[in-house]
């Protein structure tokens, strides 16, 4: 993990937080995680009851502290009056911060590579070590049964009630405690803050949203960006693997032929060959743990890529130690 944006205030101030948040928005756009829609937020390092996220603007066009708004975690209301309009779905972020005090950054995305796993019933599972954080069970949250009475049924997380339902999926009441919480508990306290109680640790790093997209929660900006990008890469790999596997092996139908019935096959079973290889629980855990120590490497690359791209502007002043 890199130095991040959650060290003590005298070491990393709000100027660095703002610069990192703008950079993260650009990186997510550059890597196809968000387009004109989608967003990233970060908890305030000196006030855990508030968080920052861009105003209602295309992420690629966020460029200065004037484009950022501070919200109260409790009800996602703006801290200041007369601020720029915000994203409609900021309750996604607020309710995750409310439920999980140790979480400091959230990304919401409609990435097209991940969307098929939000609608097909095919579970998203890690096949590559870079996506070990997914674990063996990525839950799918379906908003359909959670709309408040009289609300719009447009799949948008418009209020805190829907946001609370989504956030609860990161730690289902019946969960036995998935490996994500075990790995995150090993993160240095200067990054994650004071060690939270186990009940405040999410069991899942990523939750898919039926017909909508996905949300990922992390301990810092760099980690949230890493998880968002490699959720996309995991989905691309799995889709390609499923495609070439089915094209190569196809399916074999086995059963008994009913000669008197005109040659129909009865008691037929479809037999598939060439099963896909997913990471085991142990592999996912160990791969996730190993990748935690390397996040600074891709972060530095992604920062440089958006820095030299004329599309992106970051006019936030850098802070001083």
Mean pLDDT of the chain: 86
The pLDDT value given to residue 137:
87
CB atoms closer than 10 angstroms to residue 151: 13
CB-CB neighbours of 314 under 10 Å: 20
Q: d(Cα 283, Cα 309) in Å, to the nearest integer?
A: 37
Q: Is residue 313 part of a domain?
A: no
What's the pLDDT score for residue 177? 47
Is residue 194 domain-resident?
A: yes
Average pLDDT over every residue of 9-37:
88
In a domain, 255, yes or no: no
- Cβ atoms 153, 211 nearer than 8 A: no
Range of the domain at 69: 14-248+280-307
Contact indicator for 52, 70 with CB cutoff of 8 Å:
yes
Question: Are the beta carbons of 313 and 62 closer than 8 angstroms?
Answer: no
Residues 6+ positions from 242 with CB-CB distance below 8 Å:
122, 276
CA distance 20 to 18: 5
Least confident of 200-204, 265-269, 290-294, 303-307: 265-269
Within 10 A of 108 (CB to CB), how many other CB atoms are there? Answer: 27
- Confidence (pLDDT) at 319: 60
Q: What is the pLDDT of residues 146-205, one digit of tens each?
A: 998 888 999 999 999 999 999 999 998 754 444 555 455 545 444 444 444 445 789 999
Task: Tell whether 23 is covered by a domain.
Answer: yes
- Any residues with CB less than 8 A from the CB of 186 and at least 6 apart, and which? 289, 292
| Confidence class for position 219, pLDDT limits 50, 70, 90 | very high
Q: How far is CA 194 from CA 8, 91, 101, 197, 233, in A?
A: 12, 25, 10, 10, 32
Is the residue at 260 inside a domain? no
User: How much is the pTM?
Assistant: 0.84
Write out pLDDT tens, residues 76-105: 999 999 999 999 999 999 999 999 999 999
Task: Write out the catalytic residue numbers.
Answer: 89
Tell me, yes or no, whether 133 lies in a domain: yes
Interhelix angle 296-307/14-30, rounded to 10 degrees, is 80
Whether residue 123 is contained in a domain is answered as: yes
Give domain status of residue 268, yes or no.
no
Tally of domains in the chain? 1
Per the CB < 8 A criterion, the answer to whether 189 and 71 are in contact is no
Q: Which CATH number is 185's domain given?
A: 3.40.225.10
Q: What is the pLDDT of residue 247?
A: 85
User: Which among 314, 317, 321 has a CA at the least distance from the CA of 26?
Assistant: 314
Helix axes 91-99, 160-169, angle to 10 degrees: 50
């Amino acid at each position: 993990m890199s130095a991040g944006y959650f060290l003590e205030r005298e070491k990393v101030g709000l100027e660095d937080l703002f610069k990192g948040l703008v950079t993260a928005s650009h990186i997510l756009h550059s890597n196809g995680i968000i387009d004109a829609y989608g967003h990233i937020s970060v908890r305030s390092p000196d006030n855990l009851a508030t968080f920052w996220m861009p105003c209602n603007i295309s992420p690629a066009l966020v460029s200065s502290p004037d484009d950022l708004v501070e919200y109260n975690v409790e009800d996602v209301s703006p801290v200041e009056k007369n601020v720029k309009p915000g994203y409609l779905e900021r309750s996604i972020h607020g309710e995750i911060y409310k439920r999980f005090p140790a979480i400091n950054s959230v990304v919401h995305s409609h990435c097209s590579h991940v969307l098929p796993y939000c609608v097909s019933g095919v579970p998203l599972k890690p096949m590559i070590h870079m996506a070990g954080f997914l674990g063996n069970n990525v839950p799918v949250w379906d908003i359909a049964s959670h709309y408040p009475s009289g609300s719009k049924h447009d799949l948008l997380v418009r209020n805190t009630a829907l946001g609370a339902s989504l956030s609860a999926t990161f730690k289902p009441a019946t969960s036995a405690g998935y490996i994500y919480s075990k790995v995150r508990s090993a993160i240095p306290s200067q990054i994650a803050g004071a060690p939270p109680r186990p009940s405040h640790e999410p069991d899942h790093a990523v939750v898919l949203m039926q017909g909508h997209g996905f949300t990922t929660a992390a301990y810092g900006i760099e980690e949230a960006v890493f998880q968002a990008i490699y959720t996309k890469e995991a989905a691309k790999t799995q889709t390609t693997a499923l495609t070439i596997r089915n094209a190569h092996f196809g399916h074999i139908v086995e059963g008994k032929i009913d000669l008197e019935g005109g040659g129909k096959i009865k008691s037929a079973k479809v037999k598939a060959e060439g099963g896909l290889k997913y990471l085991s629980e142990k592999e996912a855990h160990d791969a996730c743990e190993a990748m935690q120590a390397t996040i600074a490497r891709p972060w530095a690359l992604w920062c440089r890529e958006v820095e030299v791209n004329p599309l992106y502007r970051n006019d936030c002043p850098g802070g001083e130690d």
